[in-house]
Each structure stands twice: as structure tokens, then as C-alpha cells.
Amino acid sequence: MTSQTETFGPPHAPPQSPPRTPLKNLRKRRPNRIAPTLYLFPLPAVALLAIFFAVPLLQAFQYAVTDWDGFSPTFNYVGLDNFTRALTNDALFTNALTNNVKFMLVVVVFQTAFSLLLAVLLTKNSRPNIVLRALFFFPTILSSVSVAFIWKFIYDPNFGLANSVLGAVGLEGLQSAYLGDDQLALYWVAVTQVWFHAGQMMVVFIAGLQGIPQELYEAAEVDGASRWQRFRAITWPMIAPAMTIVVAYTTVQSFKAFDLILGIAGNPPKASLDILSTRIYSTFANTEYGYAAAESVLFMAMIVLVTVLQRRVLKLTQKSE
């Protein structure tokens, strides 16, 4: 007698997959539309940019070809005479241009090198390194006028800190007139500029260095590469974006050291400390608005030209490595 096993309950149905969406429907779907009101959010920023940047920029080009004195209701168009005068027949503008180029070269080279050195030494997030980063970054939060007066006291040849320290340690032969020496005054102001902003650029370099994968250094160390070889082969190419930012920003800073120069050297500064921004300010103060506008246009064009050339040089340097 055979026994049959009876099964109670409904039979188990195989699991069903969810219905598939036809390809035609997928093709007909469109991305979510952006609400038109969202386009209104950038309008305040665009309005401020237009009012405080675009309009003054266009007016600068307009007044640069006139002889407007800033007060008269009428003026005459003089074409390119203002630009010709600035480039060929104005010793004050030429002197300011020369000073600014010297100042820019010194600041860019030494500030970039010093901030990179600090970043390499303080890359690790240890407690002493964090404290040192804060100390080096501290001058950046000070106002330019405060920094100018601090260093004006340091450079004072009679009772300044620099000569006092040199005299206390028996190095009277190194004492100097500092800002009173027309041959070196500009370079002493460059030292102040480097002290002022090196900590700020250090932070940019630290961000770039911390983004480099540590596996690259470990592999190079296993291969027997020295510290200098690791820096040339890994660090230098990998910090190219940070280097571009630092060099470009430092260049603009060196051209805009207006308040620092006036704070240290007074208004108007003497010829050895006169740079383009202070020269343009003096021209405006002399009610030569048309000529000052032409100087401003040349000033802006020079910043753009130097920045573009620097970027190309950095790219060529990174490729050669």
C-alpha cells in the first residue's frame, strides 16, 4: 500500500521580477525642470558686480582718452595721447613702473619659496605644527596699516627694534638706515610684504601637499629615492595647481601694496618707494583724472600680462620635470 504525501496550502509561486519600463518611455523622460524663480538668486551678485566693477571699468576706458580734470562738466577727447605720455614722456610713471617690477619679482620669489618651505616643514597635523601654522598665519589677519606702523618702528634707524637688536649682539656694522637708504628701501618693504602674507600662502601649499597620495612617497622611498628626488619627482609636479594660485595671488598683492607703502613711507611716498598704485593715486589727487584713468588701464593690462606669462612659465616648468 502506497502512501501519498499531501501538500496543504497554496503552491509556492516563483518570485516575480518588477515590471520593466519600456525603453520608449525611458527615452521620453526628461530631466527635472528648474524653477524659473531660481534664476533670480544670482541677480543681486550680478547687479553688484555690474555697478562696482563693470561700469567703473568701462568708464575708465572712456576717461582714459580724455583730458577730464574730474570736476569740469566738459572735456576733450585726446585719443591715445595719455598712453603715449605715460609710456614715453613721464619719468615719474616710468620710475613707479620700474619700482613695481622690482618689488614684484622680489616678493613673488621669496614669498613663494618661504611659504613653500613652511608648508613642507609643517605638513603633518601634529599639535606643535598646528600651533606654528597659527603663529605664521597670524600676521595675515592684521590690517595693512597696522603692519606698516609695526615695521616702521622696527626700521627706525635711531630707536628701532632692528638696530637695537643688532647693537645688543655686537653687530653694529650691520646696522642700516633701512627706509632712509634709497637704494635698499624698496627691498626692506618687500621683506615686510613677505612677512605679512607668507602664512596665508603657506595654507594654500599645505592643502596641496596634503592632497598628494602617501603611497607615491612610500613607493619612491622603497626604490631608494632621496628626499630631494622625491620632492622633484612627486611633490613639485603634484602641487602645480597650488603653485599657480600662489604665484598669481602674490603677483596681484605685490601690485596692490598701496596701503602698505603709504603707511610706511607716508603720502606721497618718496621716489624710491613710489609704485604704480601710489603713482596713480597721486595723479588723481592732482585732478588729472583722464591721465590717471589711462595709467589705471595700463596698470590693469600689466597685471594681466604678467599673470598670463607666469602661468605659461609654470606650465613649461612642470612639463620639463
For 10-25, the pLDDT digits (tens) are: 555 555 555 555 555 5
State residue 298's pLDDT score: 92
What is the number of domains present in the chain? 1
Report pLDDT digits (tens) over 261-283.
989 888 888 889 999 999 999 99
pLDDT-based confidence at residue 309 (cuts at 50, 70, 90): confident
Report pLDDT digits (tens) over 237-256.
888 888 888 988 898 888 88
In a domain, 162, yes or no: yes
In a domain, 85, yes or no: yes
- Which carries the bigger pLDDT value, residue 37 or residue 105? 105
Burial class (CB in 10 A: 0-12, 13-18, 19+), 218: exposed
State residue 279's pLDDT score: 92
Burial class (CB in 10 A: 0-12, 13-18, 19+), 216: middle
- Cα separation, 299 vs 308, in Å, equals 14
In a domain, 40, yes or no: no
State residue 318's pLDDT score: 59
Give yes or no for residue 36 having a pLDDT over 60: yes
In a domain, 20, yes or no: no
pLDDT-based confidence at residue 5 (cuts at 50, 70, 90): very low
pTM, two decimal places:
0.78
Give yes or no for residue 111 having a pLDDT over 90: yes
In a domain, 130, yes or no: yes
Phi, psi of 280 (to 5 degrees): -65, -40
- DSSP tag of 231: I
CATH number at residue 218: 1.10.3720.10
Contact 274, 268 (CB under 8 A): yes
In a domain, 61, yes or no: yes
Give yes or no for residue 9 having a pLDDT over 60: no
- Cα separation, 60 vs 51, in Å, equals 13
In a domain, 231, yes or no: yes
Range of the domain at 127: 57-320
In a domain, 223, yes or no: yes
- Cα separation, 116 vs 246, in Å, equals 10
